[in-house]
Amino acid sequence: MLKFDNVSLKYGSFLALDKVCLHADKGELVVLLGANGAGKSSLFLTASGIHKAAGGSITWGAQELVGSKPSTIVEAGVVQCPEGRKLFAHMSVQKNLELGAYVHRGDTGPSKRILEEVYALFPILREKKDDAAGSLSGGQQQMVAIGRAMMGRPKVLLLDEPSLGLAPLVIKQMFEVIQRINQSGTTVLLAEQNAFAALKIAHRAYVMESGRIVREGKPEQLLADDSIRKAYIGA
């Protein structure tokens, strides 16, 4: 289980995360909803060891992640696909994917097989494997970002707004792929503003406002809630 227990984060004097408690059980697909600035990315960056929590603990099984190095956290199986994709635009698609396996460079055996799995999941990436990542469409770049995270051999995948800026049809395909990744055994924590589509594939969801978790529930409970619908679905 990935567990956030009273996690706080400060940027200077600004409290970006205020005693956040949240968990994702093994095999779950958990969605984190929240408006711009709610703290979703901050939470992910803290789990990944990019930011250091000011208080609380984040555990993956028996392992404490607060204070661990980002590379150690990836090695443990907690892998982030960051908001905005963060690809190396001038490097080829395949080089970008291979970089996702960097922490496993001492044990390259499985990486070839996982690369094949990524190409099976996103056939267009095989066709474009030698193209510069920056030359791909937004949706294709998002596929590279997800594929690169998979090369890190995630047991838990932290997906930060994968649908950002994509066309509706591409978003639909993206959510189908995320569901497939989850169904093949990877625990997924998915931050999304595309609340309706995300809730449709979620097992459970949290709502975040101003650094705090304000709601937790099953997708059907949140979808049935008028205030949630007004704030996050617009219907």
Ligand X SMILES: Nc1ncnc2c1ncn2[C@@H]1O[C@H](COP(=O)(O)OP(=O)(O)OP(=O)(O)O)[C@@H](O)[C@H]1O
Question: Per CB under 5 A, does 41 bind Mg ion?
Answer: yes
Residue 16 or 174: the one with the smaller Cβ distance to ligand X is 16
Both tokens of 137, joined, read 């469409």
Give the residue with the Cβ less far from Mg ion, 80 or 140: 80
* Binding site partner of 16, from Mg ion, ligand X, none, Cβ cut-off 5-8 A by kind: ligand X
Binding of ligand X by 85 (CB under 6 A): no
Backbone dihedral region for residue 234 (phi beyond 0: left; psi -120 to 50: alpha; all else: beta):
left
Q: How far is the CB of 161 from ligand X (least distance, A)?
A: 6
Query: Which of positions 79-108 make contact with Mg ion (CB under 5 A)?
Result: 83
- C-alpha span between 103 and 81 (Å, rounded): 15
Say which entry of ligand X, Mg ion, none residue 36 contacts (CB below 5 to 8 A, set by partner kind). Answer: ligand X
SS3 154: coil
Find the shortest distance in angstroms from Cβ 40 to Mg ion.
Answer: 5
Q: Which residues pair with 187 in a beta bridge?
A: 156
* 131 near Mg ion, rule: CB under 5 A: no
| Residue of 2, 7, 16, 190 interacting with ligand X (CB under 6 A) | 16
Nearer to ligand X, 41 or 111 (CB): 41
Q: Considering only 38-46, 63-71, 103-111, 151-159, which stretch makes contact with ligand X by CB under 6 A?
A: 38-46
Give the residue among 202, 85, 61 at the shortest CA–CA distance from 133: 85
Judged by CB under 6 A, does residue 81 bind ligand X? no
If one counts every other C-beta atom within 10 angstroms of the C-beta of residue 230, the result is 10
Q: How many CB atoms lie within 10 A of CB 155?
A: 15
80-93 burial, b if ≥16 CB within 10 A, otherwise e?
A: bbbbebebeeeebb
Q: Where along the sequence are the contacts to ligand X (CB under 6 A)?
A: 11, 14, 16, 34, 36-42, 83, 193
